Amino acid sequence: MPSRTDPSGSTAVSGKAVCCLCCVVYQNRNHLSILSFDVSNFTNRDGTGIQTFRDRRTSSVKRKRDLWIRNALLPFFFSVVLLGSLASVSCGEEESGLKWGFSLGVGHPQKSSSNLNLWTFFPRVDVPVSKNWEFEVEGNASYYDISRARNLYVLGVNTNILFKLLRWGDGELFLLGGVGLGYDNNGSGKVPDLGDSHTAGILQCGTGILYRAGKNLWVRGEYRFHHISDPFHKDGGINTHNALFGVTF
């Protein structure tokens, strides 16, 4: 259809072409609005949307990593506990009878950016099951100094397997792994990394040295990697590096 020309010489768009253009825009306006909405979820004029998306993705990856660590270590430590409990007691003639002791510890978070200090007290009883293996039951009294409104208290029981890797003179190098369960004051969810219940699950592993200071006295120093989380909630938990010093008699 020929176009019309106005008196000034400019070419006007035909009525049919205008109708076709309006029809196309009308048919696609919902699609365009959807695209506009989706893009707005990821970016704003100042780019903050993209940064928010990246932060969420990074947080999701860290959470999955922490959950993987917890799910992988739990079966391993239960296997170690089972293996230690089945060890032959007849091999333990060199060391027999219960041993008592306690350790005091201080810990710092795995994430250096976190503002947290951990103070622990572990009274324990050691049960020799073989020449190189010991089964430990220890109480757990822990205080997480986070902030005035979010301080965390934990009371519970841990079970550990201690393996004496190396002996020399009056010293012994050992490896330790264990699990535990406790009660905490996080029922209101004030510490989001630990869910919103009063139950705390614990995983720990480490290494240390036992030194015989007397006939029935041992001095003990060790490092432990300590994980605490809500076993009934998919939370990331709190990981800490801990230094402990104690005695056994």
In this structure, the answer to whether residues 194 and 215 fall within a common structural domain is yes
Query: What does the pLDDT average to over 19-41?
Result: 43
pLDDT tens across 178-224, in order?
999 999 998 877 888 888 888 999 999 999 999 999 988 999 999 99
Which structure tokens are listed for 103? Answer: 């350790």
Torsion on CA atoms 51, 229, 118, 123, rounded to nearest 10? -170
d(CA 19, CA 17): 5
In this structure, the answer to whether residues 115 and 228 fall within a common structural domain is yes
Instruction: Give the helix/strand (H/E) hosting 137.
Output: strand 133-145
In this structure, the answer to whether residues 82 and 105 fall within a common structural domain is yes
In this structure, the answer to whether residues 135 and 26 fall within a common structural domain is no
What would you measure as the largest C-alpha separation in the chain, in angstroms? 118
The average confidence (pLDDT) of the chain is: 75
Q: Residue 185 domain-assigned?
A: yes
Query: What does the pLDDT average to over 27-45?
Result: 44
In this structure, the answer to whether residues 97 and 197 fall within a common structural domain is yes
Classify 97 in phi/psi space as left (phi over 0), alpha (psi -120 to 50) or beta. left
| CB neighbour list of residue 236: distance below 8 Å, 6 or more residues apart | 62, 63, 66, 67, 193, 229
Please provide the distance, in angstroms rounded to a whole number, between the alpha carbons at the two ends of the chain: 106
In this structure, the answer to whether residues 21 and 136 fall within a common structural domain is no
pLDDT tens across 37-72, in order?
343 444 455 555 555 656 666 566 556 655 655 565
Q: Residue 27 domain-assigned?
A: yes
In this structure, the answer to whether residues 37 and 60 fall within a common structural domain is no
Q: Tell me the residue range of the domain where 24 lies.
A: 14-42
In this structure, the answer to whether residues 219 and 175 fall within a common structural domain is yes
- Provide the β-strand partners of residue 121: 104, 141
Classify 174 in phi/psi space as left (phi over 0), alpha (psi -120 to 50) or beta. beta
Top-confidence residue, 189 or 81: 189
In this structure, the answer to whether residues 62 and 148 fall within a common structural domain is yes
Query: What does the pLDDT average to over 78-103?
Result: 60
